[in-house]
A and B are shown apart, each in its own frame.
Chain A
Amino acid sequence: MTAMTKIDDRFDVRSWLREALFPHFLCPGCGHGIALRALVWAFHDAGIARDRLAIVSGIGCSGRIGAYIDTNTFHVTHGRPLAYATGLKLARPDLEVVVITGDGDCLAIGGNHLIHACRRNIDLTCVMLNNEIYGMTGGQVSPTTAEDRWTTTTPAGNIEPAFDACRLAEAAGAGLVGREMTLHLPALRDLLVEGLMHPGFSFIEVISDCTEIYGRKNDLGLPAEMMLCQTGSLRPDVYTSTVDQPFRPNRLRTGVLARSDRPGYLARISRVSDR
């Protein structure tokens, strides 16, 4: 496991990118770009060879970042990356299968896939980029949109309470559950490494920012200001129910939030596969 402060000078992000596709399509300041760096850095730190890695991503600005990583990538239908990834993992258990998904992709249309992947504790790493909105389709309300926020489908302000995806995943049985923000890139990288190393289902929520729609329409400041507010003041109260680690003046609960050593799906399937 990497130390929290590890700085690896040998990591060269560009060696992991499909550089011909750059500049990427994300809007100026979009937090998903930082998540992209954290992910490939975690692959590097976890020592995963790129031909042993498969990324399955759903539809959304979040899912699109998978296409920029120079490895095996599958860009599948909206809401279903966990279903595809489950099939892939069963067929090719030797691959490290990572799902990149968004809050809409994972919790709205894909919500059922999520709870059942957690219940099965299937050996995948699911990285959900939470920007509290459907970014790609122009800004509709999502299951994590904070109350009172403007979206195209809540022009008078959102009246629905937001999901705490980590508590949902934990309750549904995920083996490892964690949350980190793009602002704390090294901590995010290290949390992703923990997720990759954990057998069973790892669910990592990444606090990201949709700067162009959510930020602009809700007057949440310039991209850097939005990012600096990730430490808490912008986020719904559901995230703040427990005190965070000391010395991190942060209202969000971050880091590894739940961990269990319940056997993963592959360990259990091997018990019956010979019968």
Chain B
Amino acid sequence: MLVNRADSRPINVLVVGVGGQGVIMVSKVLAQLCLEQGYEVKQSEVHGMAKRGGSVFSHIRFGARVWSPTIPEGEADVLLAMEWAEGLRWLPSLEPERGIFIADTRRIVPPFAFRNRRRGADPAYITTRPDEVLDRVAGGYAIDATREAEALGNGRAANTVLLGALSTALGFPAEDWLAVISRFVPSKTIETNRQAFHRGRTVIEAGDLPDLSAPPAAPAAAAPVATATPATDRVTWRIEPSWCKGCNVCVTICPERCLALDQRKVAVLAAPDACTGCRLCEYLCPDLAITVSDGALSVAIEGAASPQPAAADPGSRR
């Protein structure tokens, strides 16, 4: 689907994503290409939070004459979202009648979305599925660009897959795109990026899109900020009651507030569901009474027979 260029106003492309994805690289490629095609171009970006996996966005406007560098709300002809939640965040900026939405379904979960720090807990990440959104926009495409790029042998070429997808909306010749891209990527990766670009075009043109009712793609391990799927959710918290002196250190220090002292003044795991297995209580128990393990460590604790014969106290010499 091509951007409707009937009127004389500039064409507006909004590129959004999070730090580290290449939002700026993608928009520089587009801006350079538009310049070489003889247009006036203005580009502006906000990338202050990029280093922390925060929101990054870039406005590119091109046409015979461009006055303002920013795209008015509701006037983006193309919204290119390199991260799923960022795409949803910026949807209102899309032109409602004609706007084209191209989104990577990859999720990059920011650290502050981990409200529940327990391993394996679901992050507070938007649950909206691609198929729920694509019907509401004039032209909508959701691609798992990272998977496409990985299939070509380099997951980092995902942004070039997205450039390929973007190229179908703007109508410049593919060879002109590739000429610009090859100046922006490391020379060793030019061939991979060429394939990635064509893959992005094919995915859109052939309608070779992933199953949209599926939840957005799981985050890649290589993503700058990502959820780690835990190998195991089993955390074992054990106490040696006869070693605990009830000093309350673990109770105070536990970040999840899940420990308490019982009537005997022995520490107990009062809220097992909240325990994240962070091991802070184990580290800072002055009496070495706590063991937190995830199955890799197997030591018999409570009630275990002492492995050594009872010896005399080392004796205090004052």
By the criterion CB–CB under 8 Å, are B314 and A222 in contact? no
Q: How many residues of B contact A (CB 8 A)?
A: 37
Residues of A within 8 A of B248 (CB): 29, 222-224
**Stretch with Cβ within 8 A of B (4 or more), from A19-27, A146-154, A235-243:** A19-27
By the criterion CB–CB under 8 Å, are B316 and A136 in contact? yes
Residues of A within 8 A of B303 (CB): none
Assembled-state Cα–Cα distance A18/B245 (Å): 18
By the criterion CB–CB under 8 Å, are B308 and A12 in contact? no
By the criterion CB–CB under 8 Å, are B317 and A20 in contact? no
Residue of A nearest to B293 (CB): A9
Residues of A within 8 A of B294 (CB): 9
The A62-106 residues at the B interface (CB cut-off 8 A) are 64, 67-68, 75, 78
Residues of B within 8 A of A28 (CB): 245-247, 286-287
**Stretch with Cβ within 8 A of B (4 or more), from A32-40, A109-117, A198-206, A257-265:** A32-40
Q: How many residues of A contact B (CB 8 A)?
A: 44
Q: Is B125's CB within 8 Å of the partner chain A?
A: no
By the criterion CB–CB under 8 Å, are A10 and B297 in contact? yes
With known contacts A12-B299, A64-B316, A136-B318, A34–B310 Cβ distance under 8 A = no
Assembled-state Cα–Cα distance A95/B285 (Å): 30
Q: Is A137's CB within 8 Å of the partner chain B?
A: yes
Residues of B within 8 A of A68 (CB): 314
Q: Is B243's CB within 8 Å of the partner chain A?
A: yes
Interface residues as binary, A196-230 with B (CB distance below 8 Å gives 1, 0 otherwise): 00000000000000010000000000111101000
With known contacts A10-B296, A10-B297, A14-B299, A223–B286 Cβ distance under 8 A = yes
Residues of A within 8 A of B242 (CB): 22-23
Q: Is B288's CB within 8 Å of the partner chain A?
A: yes
By the criterion CB–CB under 8 Å, are B252 and A225 in contact? yes
- The 6 A-B pairs at the shortest CB distance, nearest first, are namely A33-B286, A67-B314, A224-B252, A29-B247, A28-B247, A28-B245
Residue positions of B touching A, CB distance < 8 A: 240, 242-249, 251-253, 279, 283-289, 291, 293-294, 296-297, 299, 306-311, 313-314, 316-318
